[in-house]
Amino acid sequence: MNLKNKRILGINISFYQYQEAIKKIINTSLNNTDLRVSPIASHSIIEAQNNSKLKDILNNFDLVLPDGQSLVWAANFLYENAKRERIYGPDLLLRLCERCEKEKIRVILYGNHTGLVSHKIRKKYPKLNTVALPDLKYKKINNTDVKYLLSALNKYKKSIAFIGIGSPAQHILLAELKQIKMPIVAVGAAFNFIAGVQKQAPVWMQKYGFEWLFRLINEPQRLWKRYLIYAPRFVILVIFQKINFLFNNDK
């Protein structure tokens, strides 16, 4: 296992710093090679506990980054306390766009509100070349969508594609794009935040791990299960993993 990878509940999480992750993604794009990247939160790990296919998919990605602050805390609890940071999907997208503008790398957007996201990004980075693929309008992904995306992405070189359709759909889709020779980054709700159609938690709430509360208050019907059932289960299972480490001396 890569020394930067730490196994949390059977999932290999890559604890890179922002600049390390960005450098790897940019270099992959410049070399026109493949790289599959997904920042994930704890609920994706819980979903994978009862879904072996999803677990295999996540563990076959090149970089699975800690999007949730709870993953950073879990890693520091389970392993030696080190300087690890959260790699937040919306921030990663914007930081990559800044580098792409400088390196003249094309940015391709696929998911919801792609036209609006492209407009917002271009206002921030006016020299950036963006391609907004047709808006999904929240519909479920099917085989036709996969074939379309394979055909669309194969047209481009020196590019980075971002997929913003949420978990686990974006992970399943990402697994179908193995032959595409560019970095593809699954960024979940980042498109909604950047487009301004979904409220984003204040920075201080993100920093201190209260983003879940902000999102639960704003989207209780959609997110109650994630934060009231999955989150406690994540904490309990991480504690059991720590106990297993202590008794078996196995990390």
What pLDDT score was predicted for residue 3? 59
d(CA 6, CA 9): 10
Per-domain residue ranges of the chain: 5-214
d(CA 14, CA 30): 22
d(CA 49, CA 160): 30
- The overall average pLDDT reported for the chain is 90
pTM score of the predicted model: 0.91
d(CA 145, CA 182): 18
d(CA 151, CA 133): 12
**Token pair 């949390």: residue:** 8
The first and second tokens of residue 201, run together, are 């938690």
pLDDT: which is higher, 119 or 212: 119
Closest CA to 59 of 4, 18, 16, 7: 7
Percentage of residues of the chain with pLDDT beyond 70? 96
Are 99 and 22 contacting, i.e. CB atoms less than 8 angstroms apart?
A: yes
* Residue 2: band (very low, low, confident or very high) from pLDDT cuts 50, 70, 90: low
Are 38 and 185 contacting, i.e. CB atoms less than 8 angstroms apart?
A: yes
Give phi and psi for 142, each to the nearest 5: -130, 180
Are 36 and 174 contacting, i.e. CB atoms less than 8 angstroms apart?
A: yes
- When pLDDT is averaged across residues 130-142 and rounded to a whole number, the result is 82
Q: Counting beta carbons within 10 angstroms of the beta carbon of residue 205, is it exposed (0 to 12), middle (13 to 18) or buried (19 or more)? A: middle
Number of C-beta neighbours around residue 26 at 10 A: 18
44-83: per-residue pLDDT in tens? 999 999 899 999 999 999 999 999 899 999 999 999 767 7
Give phi and psi for 27, each to the nearest 5: -60, -35
Number of C-beta neighbours around residue 203 at 10 A: 9
